[in-house]
């Protein structure tokens, strides 16, 4: 089996690749499991060293739109499954409209058109976002988002992701792909350097203090957030590829499970793990631009479809932090982390 991951050198793309390599096989849409012979990682950046050293990994570097336009890129034709994770993130899209439209709308459309022209009908998993839901005075969100809640995005990023969902749904309806869109929750804790996502501080407020560094926490403690750990997020992405058509159900996107918490509760969990020295490093200066984006996102979900697929939320944010500490011991520099 040949798998393509766009955004494959990024944090989630690389983690997905490692997970699939460790499994060694994959059951696509309920079919019998098949060995994974090759994973092609498409990204602007080169893959991490451990992936580059694996003989089953092929790396294609460059702009995704350019790679889709290349006439002799055989890896698209050979793909049994495509995980489309490449995207410009929320803060970038709000600051640069053209970047978001090229990276999120145009690239997704071009990918679907490329697959349609090839006629290979791969399983395609599209990473959407909870940002397709947005609160506004004219159309307030319900207190709890359920599977049938109508998306009402309030940011360019959310709108572009919702367009991507609809494209995947229609290309699936026409039989060009076997598409499944999954709405990712706010993923925390992400290791590595901050990115341009408005949600980036949800990881930074834990990651940086654990490293003994100051971190921005620019929204009030009462701000609700729907959190999913990296492990739970990857579980949802893989399960989307494995589910039978009957298990998957409607073509609409799937809300992945989330832990409903608040910024204040996240800070309290950090203090339980790392003490007051960690929370003392939080800079609580407000950032109006970030708050304008984050305040529109929902904080509570009921995910019956995901539950029926066997997917579950993280038990607590303290457990999420402890998972991060266990997986990234070299990134923890603050003394006394329990």
Give the predicted TM-score (pTM) of the model. Answer: 0.95
pLDDT band at 54 (very low <50, low <70, confident <90, very high): very high
Q: Looking at the structure, tell me whether residues 31 and 178 fall in a common domain.
A: yes
Is residue 209 a part of any domain in this protein?
A: yes
Indicate whether 334 belongs to any domain: no
pLDDT tens digits for 282-296?
999 999 999 989 989
Same domain, 122 and 137: yes
Question: Rounded mean pLDDT of 134-148?
Answer: 94
Whether 337 is in a domain gets the answer no
Answer yes or no: is pLDDT of 62 > 90. yes
* CATH code for position 271: 3.90.25.10
Mean pLDDT for 310-338 is 94
Peptide bond into 189 cis (omega under 30): yes
pLDDT at 196 over 80: no
In this structure, the answer to whether residues 20 and 140 fall within a common structural domain is yes
pLDDT over 80 at 99, yes or no: yes
Nearest alpha carbon to residue 333 among 222, 234, 211, 236: 211
159 and 69 within one domain: yes
Q: What domain range is 273 assigned to?
A: 198-224+259-300+314-327
- Using CA atoms, how far apart are residues 163 and 160, in angstroms rounded to an integer? 5
* Active-site annotation, residues: 157
Rg (the chain; Cα; Å): 19
pLDDT at 236: 98
- Mean residue pLDDT of the chain comes to 95
Residues 43, 104 within the same domain? yes
The model's confidence at residue 29, banded by pLDDT at 50, 70 and 90, is very high
Judgement on whether residues 82 and 161 belong to the same structural domain of the protein: yes
Work out the end-to-end distance of the chain between its first and last CA atoms, rounded to an integer number of angstroms: 42
Distances (CA, A) of 7 to 82, 94, 97, 176, 281: 11, 20, 20, 22, 32
Same domain, 9 and 121: yes
What is the torsional sign of CA 259, 264, 266, 268? Answer: negative
Average pLDDT over residues 15-21: 98
Going from the C-alpha of 168 to that of each of 6, 41, 152, 337, the distances in angstroms are 15, 21, 18, 44
Tell me whether residue 270 is in a domain: yes
Please answer whether residues 271 and 279 qualify as being in contact, where contact means their C-beta atoms are separated by less than 8 angstroms.
yes
Say what the pLDDT of residue 192 is: 86
CA neighbours closer than 13 Å in the CB half-sphere of residue 301? 32
- Token pair for 199: 């949600």
Angle at 312 between CA 247 and CA 31, to 5 degrees: 30
Residues 157 and 219 in one domain: no
Predicted confidence band of residue 59 (pLDDT cuts 50, 70, 90): very high
């Amino acid at each position: 089996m040949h798998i393509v991951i766009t955004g494959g050198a990024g944090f989630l793309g690389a983690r997905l690749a490692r997970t699939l390599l460790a499994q060694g096989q994959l059951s696509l849409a309920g079919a019998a499991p098949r060995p994974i012979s090759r994973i092609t990682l498409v990204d602007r950046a080169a893959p991490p060293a451990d992936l580059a050293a694996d003989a089953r990994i092929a790396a294609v570097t460059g702009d995704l739109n350019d790679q889709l336009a290349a006439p002799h890129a055989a890896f698209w034709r050979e793909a049994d499954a495509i995980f489309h994770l490449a995207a410009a993130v929320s803060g970038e899209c709000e600051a640069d409209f053209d970047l978001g439209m090229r990276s999120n709308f145009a690239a997704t459309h071009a990918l679907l058109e490329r697959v349609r022209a090839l006629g290979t009908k791969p399983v395609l998993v599209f990473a959407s976002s909870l940002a397709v839901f947005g609160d506004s005075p004219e159309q307030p969100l319900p207190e709890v988002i359920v599977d049938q809640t109508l998306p009402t995005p309030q940011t360019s990023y959310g709108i572009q992701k919702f367009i991507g969902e609809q494209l995947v749904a229609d290309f699936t309806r026409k039989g060009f792909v076997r598409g499944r869109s999954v709405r990712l929750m706010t993923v925390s804790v992400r290791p590595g350097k901050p990115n341009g996502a408005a949600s980036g501080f949800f990881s930074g407020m834990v990651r940086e203090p654990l490293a003994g560094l100051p971190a921005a926490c620019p929204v009030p403690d009462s701000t609700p957030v729907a959190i999913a750990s990296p492990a739970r997020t990857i579980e949802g992405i893989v399960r989307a590829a494995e589910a039978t058509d009957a298990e998957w159900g409607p073509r609409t996107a799937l809300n992945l499970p989330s832990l409903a918490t608040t910024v204040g509760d996240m800070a309290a969990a950090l203090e339980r793990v790392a003490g007051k020295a960690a929370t003392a490093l939080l800079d609580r200066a407000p950032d109006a631009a970030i708050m304008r984006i984050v305040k529109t996102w929902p904080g509570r979900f009921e995910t019956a479809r995901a539950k029926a697929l066997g997917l579950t939320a993280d038990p607590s944010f303290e457990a999420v932090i402890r998972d991060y500490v266990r997986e990234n011991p070299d990134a923890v520099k603050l003394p006394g982390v329990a």
